[in-house]
Amino acid sequence: MQKKGNKYGTHRVIDPVGVLPQPANKIDNNMDEIYDNEILIDVQTLNIDSASFTDIAKFCNHDKEAMKKEMFLTVELQGKHRNRRTGSGGMLLGTVEKIGDALVGKTDLKVGDKIATLVSLSLTPLRIDEILEIREDVDQVDIKGKAILFESGIYAKIPTDMPEKLALSALDVAGAPAQTAKLCRPGDTVFVIGAGGKSGMLCCYEAKKRVGVTGKVIGMTHSERSTKRMQDLGFCDVVFAGNANDPIAMYEKVSELTGGKMADITINNVNVPDTEMTSILCTKNDGIIYFFSMATSFTKAALGAEGVGSDVTMIIGNGYTQGHAEITLQLLRESKKLRDIFTELYA
């Protein structure tokens, strides 16, 4: 007889009792027995979120063995992979191994299904038995291990019409293009910070689709190489290389490109801190900023906007939007350019 579990996974919380798994300091990652409303996953790949992976690599001086020790220690201390400095996680790819009794008949999953979890590793009970490979160029780590998906956890079945790693790379940032689709309207000027990255490319493509010929998409990249790549892809009306940590220079550049009107919508996809003021200054007074970046500081954004008298609406990058997995995978199907570049860079 399996133990009865809480829908949101609070039955796994060890410290402090009473909180949800994400903010908890430690959760139970014992996989010997599962609760009646849990799904046990045999894990193949961890897709660490960009802010977390960048931090781990930097903290360990890009030494693979040191990075492995850091990941083992993180899970040992917390029972999950929540970066102890950034607080962020990622998601995983794996195979359904067991389904709790209370979920039988209530889920479309069956044992043997290959899925990507669409909830953060920062709340997912995880056990790492062995780290097989760290792929620093794509923020992915192949492991042997187990994980638990709670009853409230969302997931996507891996599609059969594209490689697993390709689908995983896109699903990792599925919230960004789906939110972009909701926010952008015909005629809008959209400024995408971090346009050359995984989420940035998806956002630029989706934004251009939504704003149409009367709108404008401005992409900012961090290097000449990614600038050239974005120019070749043609998803933006204008692309330039800039430093998101230099708000005045970026303000002047966007002001020049918009005739002083600034952006209606700014989408921040970067994986480094201290880019809040660039987002704020480059957005018009009644505009919208979507902070998809997990390196964003709510305090810096809120007080920074107040400090410069900016009446922008700021949206926290909720990684979940209804239908986000389907929307994002469809982008790879409808755009050969997008699929080819994702295959080249991430799959």
pLDDT at position 185? 98
Across all residues in the chain, what is the average pLDDT? 96
E runs forming strands in 100-164: 114-117, 126-135, 140-149, 155-157
Q: Is the pLDDT of residue 317 over 90?
A: no
Separation between Cα atoms, residue 207 and residue 195, nearest integer Å: 11
CB atoms within 10 A of CB 136: 14
Which range is least confidently modeled, 26-30, 192-196, 293-297? 293-297
Write down the pLDDT at residue 322. 87
Is the pLDDT confidence value at 333 over 80? Answer: yes
What span, in angstroms and rounded, lies between the C-alpha atoms of 254 and 282? Answer: 6
The pLDDT-based confidence of 321 (bands split at 50, 70, 90) is confident
Band of pLDDT at residue 167, cut at 50, 70 and 90: very high
State yes or no: pLDDT of 203 exceeds 80: yes
Classify residue 12 by its DSSP letter.
G
Tell me the pLDDT tens digit for each residue of 204-239.
999 999 999 999 999 999 999 999 999 999 999 999
CB atoms within 10 A of CB 128: 21
Least confident of 165-169, 246-250, 302-306: 165-169
Cβ contact 271:295 at 8 Å: yes
What is the pLDDT, as a whole number, of residue 261? 98
Q: What does the pLDDT read at residue 347?
A: 76
Architecture category of domain 175-346 in CATH: 3-Layer(aba) Sandwich (3.40)
pLDDT band at 14 (very low <50, low <70, confident <90, very high): very high
The span from the CA of 264 to the CA of 312, in Å, is: 10
Region 123-127: mean pLDDT is 98
* Weakest mean pLDDT among 78-92, 156-170, 241-255: 156-170
In angstroms, the Cα distances linking 141 to 53, 92, 158, 196 are: 10, 9, 18, 22
Helix (H, G, I), strand (E, B) or coil at 44: strand
With H, G, I as helix, E, B as strand and everything else as coil, classify residue 235. coil
User: Distance between CA atoms of 332 and 345, rounded to whole angstroms?
Assistant: 14
Domains of the chain, by residue range, sit at 10-158, 175-346
Amino acid at 333: R
Interval 27-58: pLDDT, tens: 999 999 999 999 999 999 999 998 899 999 99
Amino acid identity at 268: N
Residue 263 pLDDT more than 80? yes
34 with 98: CB under 8 angstroms? yes
Mean pLDDT of 111-127: 97
Instruction: Give dist(CA 273, CA 57) in Å, integer.
Output: 15
Is residue 318 scored above 90 in pLDDT? Answer: no
Q: Residue 301 has what pLDDT?
A: 97
Whether residue 294 has pLDDT greater than 90: no
DSSP summary character for residue 4:
P
What phi, psi does 265 have (nearest 5°)? -135, 130
How far is 51 from 90, CA to CA, in rounded Å? 9
Does 73 have pLDDT greater than 80? yes
What's the pLDDT score for residue 271? 87
